[in-house]
Structure 1
């Protein structure tokens, strides 16, 4: 799990498709630096939120032109070496600019010399589950897009293929968990905020050892801490059933051969840690952090959440927690 900065650690096995993508140019790539970021749709719970436009770029994958916001680290942090890369997936009904404002990941990560890419989901959402739907007849589309985006940024931006991390909020957090579950050799770590592993017919099963952090609000009224085995039907794309936050973490712990967990009560939160049995990295862990008095929100965010999402806790700065976890992964 430890990055290629440690020469004693073997390199992760990269998926063949990603290796091929690194060797071949991707059509339709190019920056649109002056193009403003789109606002959430009028029907979204995030409608009316704003964010400063960033560098918007495009990548053509599977016959579609996909977009993402890219933030490069400040020149002062440049070392000339390959840069860690964070891929951050927004929540359902939101967009890349919203997650950027919600998390401020680009500021904190940029100060650490990291690249951050905020990709745009199709229909303001992500295919976090494995079951085909009318809206997403190809349930693997977003996983392949993520692979291609990483390969593109390794080739064009000097991203370090051994230090690639995925994170996200809500549906985007579930997407980050899916990528880690299905492509454990692709990422060095994953973190989900208010997102759980899909269950039922769309179930996602971890397939290998990878460090994972799950941050969850104890009082989440949108997607309960204990999971949602039978969400009600609604308009648009179906809401997926999910495991509980703890069961999501336990699934990754089991896939990594972890031993018994250790739980510790801290100020405003409870932390449970499973240590992965990985001989290449004895410090690799799966962590679950349950934040007290917190809703379906990004802890520490200055953004006001939509009505009905619960309160934003200040007992944890989720952005720092995610980046600290990645640094240790």
Structure 2
């Protein structure tokens, strides 16, 4: 099958110099081109000097944990990361995944099934859910850190929380001490450190539904939430290169 993606290179990109990579996964239905205009990743990449790849799902969807289709999207993401390592000099220790909704669910699936490919994932309004996530042995075999954002009014919030409990339990995660301070009013933040050296950060936002906090795009955005999720995800990524 032929697969497509859009790649954004920052103005300061220098061929031959190792560069971080963020692969950003669209919601369902969606496209990589649409995703590139929603949450400010191109602008942030231009400032911070990393590549952003926007894959297209088959028929607007990714084969994630609860839907959709039967494409080998985990294999596609692993192949795409490897291709960009070989052709664009991506630093293999600084390859990351982010996504929202269907794309967020796929981020969790890839973290498990392509463990070792991605150092960390940033998930917005998505989760470690579905039948696969129930099996006790369904967990990454290499460290993958997680930062995620959950709106308390999201109809899937309870399922996302249950999935995170399973993730933490299987990886032997415990809360850090002292606990992190709330970043702003109406938001709670928890941070856990896991037995394999990975970390899990969870932002819970009062009053938010199935959205991307702090974004101002036309779709799935919550500009009224004073929490810049895109910048926070990137900050988390920079602090979590791949662990050996």
Q: Calculate the TM-score normalised by the size of structure 1.
A: 0.65
- Give matches, 1:53-68, under 5 Å: 64-68=1-5
What SS is found at the alignment partner of 1:165? strand
Q: CA deviation at 1:181?
A: 1.9
Larger radius of gyration: 1
CA distance in 1, matches of 2:210, 2:51: 27
CA RMSD, Structure 1 to Structure 2 (Å): 2.4
Q: CA deviation at 1:198?
A: 2.5
The answer to whether the 8 Å contact 1:74/1:110 transfers is yes
The answer to whether the 8 Å contact 2:133/2:163 transfers is no
CA distance in 2, matches of 1:94, 1:251: 29
Aligned to 2:51: 115
Q: CA deviation at 1:130?
A: 7.8
The answer to whether the 8 Å contact 1:217/1:292 transfers is yes
Question: Please, which runs of 5 or more residues in structure 1 have no aligned partner?
Answer: 1-63, 228-243
**Change beyond 3 A, Cα 1:109–1:252:** farther
- Give matches, 1:103-142, under 5 Å: 103-129=39-65, 135-136=69-70, 141-142=72-73
- Give matches, 1:75-94, under 5 Å: 75=12, 78=14, 81-94=17-30
Match of 1:317 among 222, 228, 236: 228
What SS is found at the alignment partner of 2:37? helix
Q: Calculate the TM-score normalised by the size of structure 2.
A: 0.86
Q: CA deviation at 1:286?
A: 0.5
Question: Please, which runs of 5 or more residues in structure 2 have no aligned partner?
Answer: none
What SS is found at the alignment partner of 1:320? helix
CA distance in 2, matches of 1:127, 1:328: 29
CA distance in 2, matches of 1:97, 1:248: 30
Q: CA deviation at 1:72?
A: 0.7
Q: How many residues align?
A: 234
